[in-house]
Amino acid sequence: MSIYRKAFITNIMSLYQCNEIMNIEIDKNNLLTIFNENIPQTKEYTYNVSGYLFSDYDKGIIVLHKKEWKLINLKNFGDNMSVVYVKHSKTDMQNKKIDETLLHDAMKVFQWFDEETGKKYYFIPGLGEAQQQEKNKVFKALSTAYEIKKTDKGMIIETNENEKEESSSIGKFFGLLLLYGKLEKKNNELIAIKIQIPLFGQYLAQQEILDEEIKNLQNEWIFLKTDKLQNKNGMVYQISSNDYELLEIFAKWYEPVEKFEKITKREFTQEMKSKLIEFLQSNPEIPSEGKNDVIKQIQTGTIKLLTK
């Protein structure tokens, strides 16, 4: 190939690159991405990140991997990479007092009709006596009227309060945490929560209800991850989360039982947020179109790092 032909091709490629449409944006999934009209749109990719399911065609996406910000194609998104979720919304639960109104839906996951008394009763499958005593201490410390009693029908949940209809998704999951979960702690810090609910027989339908509740929380910008685990007794529906806002709310509600000093996930996210803004401002691969608007949204809003 002659030197003149090489120069001609180089000039054409440069002109094509200059004319391509690229812009940085918060996309329909509330993720920080880069649109490039020259990326072939042949296949839609689906990912689950920290319990958040999203789908999209290939595009540029900014990810955090090993504490470093990188620009990659969506199709190359891999394990242990985190996407940037940006949305201006706040949950109204931060200052809400925990009470039976919030917890009641969790208490009645497993219910049965007593033909002898003509009343419904609520029970906890597989609960041992040591756990019963420990949970009753927690209920008492939280100043709730709930008490777990051992009867010929198993471990039954009783309350002195009338049944209440009003509830909330986030309160329900706090109740489920108290009954079926554990708080994962390290050095006096709450780092995650895990809930394992045994589902069997007619109660398998509860999974659909819980899935819907989790979607409701996503609308409030709270994320929980779900897994199905099989054991000899059937299926365990596992719910877990290290969402720092959820942990802060639960830590505040749990304070009468145990006080946690900090939630470092928020501190880490704030640190990465500052580095993200530096990355956007200094990296020559980031298009100028839309950049100022995106940086402003990140500066004034809150981000979450959702991990595959």
Q: Pick from 262, 278, 297: which residue ends a domain?
A: 262
Residue 116 sits in the same domain as residue 205: yes
| Nearest by Cα to 294 from 2, 32, 3 | 32
94 lies in some domain:
no
Pair of tokens at residue 49: 């990140």
Residue 105 sits in the same domain as residue 251: yes
Residue pair 277/298 in contact (Cβ under 8 Å)? The answer is yes
Residue 285 sits in the same domain as residue 224: no
Number of domains in the chain: 2
93 lies in some domain:
no
Angle at 46 between CA 58 and CA 307, to 5 degrees: 100
Residue 41 sits in the same domain as residue 138: no
Rounded Cα distance, 15 and 86, in Å: 34
**pLDDT single digits (tens) 116-153:** 877 888 999 989 999 999 999 999 999 998 999 999 88
Residue 77 sits in the same domain as residue 212: no
Q: Which domain holds residue 164?
A: 100-262
Residue 274 sits in the same domain as residue 190: no
Residue 119 sits in the same domain as residue 153: yes
128 lies in some domain:
yes
Residue 191 sits in the same domain as residue 110: yes
Residue 196 sits in the same domain as residue 138: yes
Residues in the chain: 308
Say which residues have a Cβ less than 8 Å from residue 20's Cβ, sequence separation at least 6.
36, 37, 38
**pLDDT single digits (tens) 187-231:** 889 999 999 999 888 888 899 999 999 999 998 899 999 999 887
Residue pair 197/206 in contact (Cβ under 8 Å)? The answer is yes
For the whole model, what pTM was predicted? 0.85
Residue 233 sits in the same domain as residue 158: yes
Cα dihedral 127, 130, 131, 135, rounded to 10, equals: 130
Average of pLDDT values for 279-302? Answer: 94
